[in-house]
A and B are shown apart, each in its own frame.
Chain A
Amino acid sequence: MSVLSDIYLAMALFDKKLKNPDFGNEKSFRDFFDSHYSFVYRRLYSLLGDSQLSEELCQDIFVSLWQRRFELPAIESWNSYLLKSATFKAIDYRRKRKDILKFAEDIDAEGIIAEVEESKDEDIQLELLDKEIAALPDRCQMIFKLSRFENMSYAEIAKTLDISPKTVENQIGKALKILRKNLLPQLFFGLLQIFQ
């Protein structure tokens, strides 16, 4: 590790003692990163489904944190702060890239549907489900992914996104109905397996 980063680590350490940012109990910003990056990345990937993009946005989040370290308010829980940052980062990214993403997903989903008709093993079915989820309307998709991929309760999702629990339920239900409608052939096959 370079001398330079050591200096930054020392700065982070000092900040902890006197003022924000309090980078947890970590000895350095690097340590802080090490113990938090993976769930930040995970949240980004859950919502975006692109590893390179998720790594880049993960970097952005930590860099921004570093740059704002003197202005940050007191952070009670870094975990929830970072997860919230990642969630909004992903939502914000999608909002900006909406048209491009939508187009790409439409094409992909069609390709997979064609594929799945030939080979029906579970992996492909999950793949198809994955693509259909990625093709859900934005808001609906984010909320559904937070529930299913991040295992968050409706109440947690509502709190994170600052929306009502009713809205969360509404969007989850909506997502399920869309998915079922679009995946009926696959579901039919799945149900046969269950009943056998």
Chain B
Amino acid sequence: MEPTDEQLARWLESPSQEDIQELHVWLDKSPENLQKWESYHLLWQNSAKLASRIPLPDRGRIWSGIEAEIGEKKTFTIPAFFKYAAAAAVILTISLSVWLSISPKQEHYIAGNGPLEVWLSDSSRVVLKEGAELKVSKDYLEEERTVILEGDAFFEIKRNVQKPFLVQSESHFVKVLGTSFLVQSAKPEEATVSVFSGKVEFGVPSGQSSILTKDMSLTILGDQFIEKEKSANDLAWWTGELKYDNAPLSQFVADMAYNFGIVIKLSSDSLLGCRLTAKFEGLTPDEMVQAVAITFGSELQQSSKSTMLLEGGNCEKGGASW
């Protein structure tokens, strides 16, 4: 008679008093059982011996495979629609001239093709607009949190009272405790910061600066400080969302140019003053232009990859949600 599977397993590993009694009863039943027991025991021991035959892994080879994988994760997939968290958000436009040579002590990120999302070591996030460059010191966070930006970028910065986050350039700086902001640099010596929430200090290194809070926007042009209306549409290159409430069509034209590099030409300048009320979500830039063309009854022609022509049309209709 065979023992049950469970009995056999228990007899071989930490058997209870009861198990041992069962074993002895079974062994006493037949001399054949002793032979069986010896063979099970031998299998049990020999299989454990096999464990020592496991070859040693090649650490270097395994790691190099991992490094190759995670090294490529310098950029992250960007969600279709980024809902900027309530935490704190700022839009900042800075124009920077050449300010720093490349140093080996820096990480250098370049958004060559579309937006590039960069995570900093404190879980702060920077999204570079196409064409933007970001330099992050290797000792970021160790001493301070300073980065250098050329071009436009949106920052979402983790709050850290001990170490304020600083975006630096030759001509401007933005200092925050924890917030998110977009940096744009179209022209030299010009910078704009728009605050969605939170608080930032924005100024020039010579000393003049201004504290901005939620919904404030400030442009520094040379030594002039100019207040502007904050626009979430300046972030459409990342969010993919544009929203207009009775805005002139010229604003849409400007936004398409800024966010997507799409030049919209109008057959008649009178169309520029047309009022547009619309919300674009989940559309490609081309589809947005098509939607606007339909709205105003214009004919749409694509004259080149990035240039579109709106022909004809009038201002009669103007409200739409896409």
Contacts and interface: CB of A to CB of B under 8 A. Distances in A.
Interface string B100-123: 000010010000000000011111
Interface in B149-167: 158
Q: How large is the interface on A (under 10, 10 to 19, 20 to 34, 35 or more residues)?
A: 35 or more
Contact of B55 (A30, A33, A45): A45
Contact of B57 (A3, A38, A67): A38
Interface in A155-181: 166, 168-174, 176-177, 179-180
B317 interface: no
Contact of A51 (B2, B57, B104): B57
B122 A55 contact: no
B38 A191 contact: yes
A133 interface: yes
A124 to B, nearest CB: 12
Contacts of B10: 169
B71 A5 contact: yes
A156 B221 CA distance: 68
Nearest to A148: B47
Contacts of B83: none
Given A18-B122, A56-B65, 14 more contacts: A2-B71, A37-B59, A54-B57, A125-B46, A147-B13, A148-B47, A148-B51, A151-B48, A153-B13, A174-B5, A176-B44, A177-B5, A180-B36, A183-B43
Interface of A: 2-8, 10-11, 13-15, 18-19, 29-30, 33-34, 37-38, 41-42, 45-46, 51, 54-56, 58-59, 62-63, 66-67, 70, 125-126, 129-130, 133, 144, 147-151, 153-154, 166, 168-174, 176-177, 179-180, 183-184, 187, 190-191, 194
A120 B277 CA distance: 88
Interface of B: 2-10, 12-14, 35-36, 38-40, 42-44, 46-51, 53-55, 57-59, 61-63, 65-67, 69-71, 73-74, 104, 107, 119-123, 136, 138, 140-141, 158
Given A126-B49, A166-B6, A55 B138 contact: no
B49 A46 contact: no
Contact of B43 (A14, A149, A176): A176
Contacts of B140: 10
B43 A150 contact: no
Top 6 nearest A-B pairs (CB, nearest first) are A173-B5, A172-B9, A169-B9, A41-B57, A173-B8, A148-B47
